Structure 1
Amino acid sequence: MKNIGLALVIVLLLASCSQDSIDSNNAAFVTYLGNDTLAVEQFEKSGNEMNAKVILRSPRTTFTSYDLVLDNTGAIESMTATKYSLDEGFGGEGTTVQTIERMGDSLLVEVNTSEGSRTYSVSYEPGVLPFIDMVHWPYELALENAASVDRDTVDQRMLTGSRLSSFILADIETDSMTIRHPFRGVMGVDVNEDGDLLFLDAGLTTRKLKVHRVPSLDIEAIGEDFAANDESGNPFGELSSAETGEFSFKGANFRVEYGSPKKRGRDLFGGIVPWGERWRTGANRATHFYTSTDLTIGTLTVPAGEYTLFTIPEPDGGTLMINKQTGQNGQSYDADRDLGRVPMEIDTKEDVTEAFTINIEETETGGVLQLIWGESVFSVDFTVN
């Protein structure tokens, strides 16, 4: 009942956040992946300072606070990230896990982990902001900066690890903008005239997140709820876990390595995986397929070896692309390196498979490669040569 109560509180808060209730200096964000709450953030701005508390649930719940000081260009002057224990939350002592200090024309970054500390420097640029994966309060600052200048497009530089990257902010209408992530795609954003982030839709990116602004949250109570889920053995888990499947039959060995995203209540094919568009067939790294023996897939001869698999799902099945390039990210696809393409079949099953799964089964005539997610099963038959 505790989780149901928390979900209801969040829904009510979402409904209550109208234009008239916006406070530019104090607010919170709730980030959803499908039906699941991935993160909550609460922030306060005062002059050139930004203080934020973030609870992120993947792969396990973490409590982190950020204290940011900006210089007169709106860039990082200093930032400290502090992590807190699951038991004590933000009421605990905390441990500094990252510091950033401007030193002349450089940003000096120190990162502390259980394996020790490392320090590196990055070139400073006016207006540069921090990028924090799956955390959205830095976008609030970037959008406000973009709203304050008379330009349709702004190249917002952000510190991503040990380098600066360009995030392109573009006006669409008076109440909407886009943010182009350097490698994940374009996010749609609803804003007010001050550039305050009201709603962010990352449905066209690899992350598929949605972020809602709310006036406030009882972040301590929410943290207790999330921590209790972890302690009871029910953590949020990886956004897309790395899976390996190994299969042997008819004198052949097969291996598939792929990222396995979860359904989380979302519409899958024709939804987050559009019909008629190339799909990485999983998540993160490109899906890899190995066979120890020559195969015939459809009418395509596939010599023994390792390949990557991409697909174009269609309501009637679509296409499986077998590519000779290996080792790449799932967004990297070179059609010139295709070994070939074969048609897929699609079937519907009654039960729901939550995590995307690739299976290889033996059949009387050879085998079948199955791509299973939700209620859909895409399949391609093959023979062992």
Structure 2
Amino acid sequence: MKLPLIIIMCFSLRAVAQQPYTASFIAKLGTDTVIVETYNMMHDHLYGKAFLRYPEDRIGVFNFHFHPDGSIQHYSMSYMKPDSSYVTSSGTEGMICENDTCTWFAGWAGLESEYVNKRAVRHIDFIGGWTPTLSLVEWNCMRLMHSGKQNLPITLVNDYIGTRDVSLTKGNNDTLIFGGPFLEYAKIKATNEGRIMSYDGIGTPWNYIVSKHAPIDVDEAAKRMSKTHKIGIPSPQAQVHFSFGKDTIRLRYGRPFKRGRVIFGGIVPYDSIWRTGANDPTEIDLPFDIQFGQTIVPKGKYSIYSIPRKGAWTLIFNTDLQQWPTDPNRSKDLALIPMKWRIPRQQTDQFTIDIEVLNDGGVIKFTWDQTEAFAPFRIVKR
């Protein structure tokens, strides 16, 4: 699996960190602007504001304080209304790391008491989630270059999926490689000082194109942009049913939009396993055995993955329903099914899984953009 690739040049962390620095990032998801972030970096502090467009429009006011080794000592993020950044929107979250324990805390509207989750980890280096703090990427690149080492272990945390071990590694030709199976890959260009100028995250869980800018007034940007069309949840969850007589096949999956992007061979790389949707694992519940060619898939619940290829696909039924789908447990693969490929009659803007019902079986179809992959099956009667 591909890893994040970061193109960056050497610099001195100490020389930069002692000087106050302010800049902004703009992140686009296809044709939609989804993050406008302005940050300040000084000594062992990183703080600022970001206008975040999903799952709802809000301003995130963030603050990081780091241990001497550069890992996170304290983190907080308060979510404020986009038209008034001093009025709480949905609540606050944060983390404190000390004595080999990192404690996640959150206060949300509707909670009777503060949410607390303790994790027995020695350090946390990166916060994941709907929308990451982009300047934290820059901070970790600075850590590796200052260390003089070849590799920097990175522990990423997301309170929904837990912790993940990734890394930041020096590659060839002035490059850094950032991530692991969970993060896929990203390409970042930077100045001689290591300040990020652009970020290409196509094919990663955060499919952003990020550009660097002079400081932007986030409050003014939020007031203006919140009056435009809403982004909402970028890949809404769908639950669909397909009736076969008295039985029903049930399917649950996330449905991402095209958003002006190149889909297959772009945000969904060829020849790599794909979650076949977005967010949580795509899940299918079969009320009976089905047969693809000579392969029988017994009735039951499965997660679905696929491997898109030019001219042909592979459909994968996996018995693990819990694993986060960007890093599937391939030892739990039950069946690998060949799929045919064709160009549909109409371009499909939103990813769609459909099952065509036939007399003795059906056809499962994956359709998005100008691609349709399909595989016929028959019902095995007992």
Unaligned segments of structure 1, at least 5 residues:
1-21
SS for the counterpart of 1:212 is strand
Three-state SS of the structure 2 residue aligned to 1:295 is strand
When structure 1 is superposed on structure 2, of 267-276 and 181-190 the one drifting more is 181-190
Structure number having the greater helix percentage: 1
Greater Cα shift, 287-296 or 59-68: 287-296
| Identity score, percent | 22
Find the aligned partners of 2:291 and 2:121 in 1 and give their Cα distance: 55
Q: What is the CA-CA distance between 1:254 and the residue it aligns to?
A: 1.0
Uncovered stretches (5+) of structure 2, i.e. residues with no partner = 1-15
Structure 1 residue 259 corresponds to structure 2 residue 254: yes
1:168 match = 167
Distance 2:153 2:302 in 1: 37
Structure 1 residues 227 and 253 mapped into 2: Cα distance closer, same or farther (>3 Å)?
same
- Measure, in 1, the Cα distance between the counterparts of 2:156 and 2:49: 20
Report if the CA contact (8 A) 2:319-2:332 is conserved. Answer: no
Aligned pairs (5 A) from 1:136-285: 136-157=134-155, 160-161=158-159, 166-172=165-171, 176-180=175-179, 183-229=182-228, 234-285=229-280
Whose RCO is larger (CA < 8 A, sep 6+)?
Answer: 2
Q: Secondary structure at the match of 1:148?
A: helix
Instruction: Determine if contact 2:203/2:266 at 8 Å carries over to the other structure.
Output: no
Task: Report if the CA contact (8 A) 1:254-1:292 is conserved.
Answer: yes
Deviation at 1:320, TM superposition (A): 2.1
| TM-superposed deviation, 1:352 | 2.4
Per the TM alignment, residue 104 of structure 1 is displaced from its structure 2 partner at its CA by 6.5
Q: CA deviation at 1:376?
A: 1.4
Question: Is the contact made by 2:270 and 2:309 (CA closer than 8 Å) also made in structure 1?
Answer: yes
What is the rounded CA distance, in whole Å, between the counterparts of 1:124 and 1:249 in structure 2? 49
Which is further off, 350-359 or 26-35? 350-359
Which residue among 57, 68, 87 is the counterpart of 2:53?
A: 57
Aligned to 1:203, the other structure's residue is in SS state: coil
Q: Distance in 1 between matches of 2:320 and 2:154?
A: 33
- Counterpart check, 1:379 vs 2:377: no
What is the aligned counterpart of 2:127 among 116, 127, 131? 131
Task: Tell me which of 29, 36, 46 is aligned to 1:33.
Answer: 29
- Cα gap change, 1:334/1:74 in structure 2, threshold over 3 Å: closer, same or farther? closer
TM-score (norm 1): 0.80
* Contact persistence 2:51–2:57 (CA under 8 A): yes
Deviation of 1:37 (Å): 1.5
Please report how far the alpha carbon of residue 282 of structure 1 lies from its aligned counterpart in structure 2 after TM superposition. 1.7
Given the alignment, which residue of 360, 370, 374 partners 2:365? 370
Q: What TM-score comes out, normalization by structure 2 length?
A: 0.80
Once the 2 structures are TM-superposed, how far is the Cα of residue 379 of structure 1 from its aligned partner?
1.3
Tell me the residue number matched to 1:18.
none
CA-CA distance at 1:267 after TM superposition: 1.3
Is 1:97 equivalent to 2:92 in the alignment?
yes
Code of the aligned partner of 2:24: A
**Alignment equivalent of 1:117, drawn from 114, 117, 131:** 114
Tell which deviates more after alignment, 167-176 or 311-320.
Answer: 167-176
Q: CA deviation at 1:151?
A: 1.6
**1:130, distance to aligned residue in structure 2 (A):** 5.1
- Which residue does 1:345 correspond to in 2? 340
1-structure distance, mates of 2:23, 2:114: 33
Work out the CA distance in 2 between the residues paired with 1:75 and 1:294. 50
1:211 is aligned with what amino acid? V
1:155, distance to aligned residue in structure 2 (A): 2.1
What amino acid does structure 1 have at the position aligned with 2:189? D
Residues 34, 264 of structure 1: 8 Å contact kept: yes
Of 366-375 and 310-319, deviating more is 310-319
Q: CA deviation at 1:217?
A: 2.2
Instruction: State the number of aligned residues.
Output: 357
Aligned-pair RMSD on alpha carbons? 3.2
Superimposed CA distance per residue, residues 126-149 of structure 1 (whole angstroms, 9 cap, x where no aligned partner): 8x5452532211122111222222
Contact 2:153 2:167 in 1 (8 A): yes
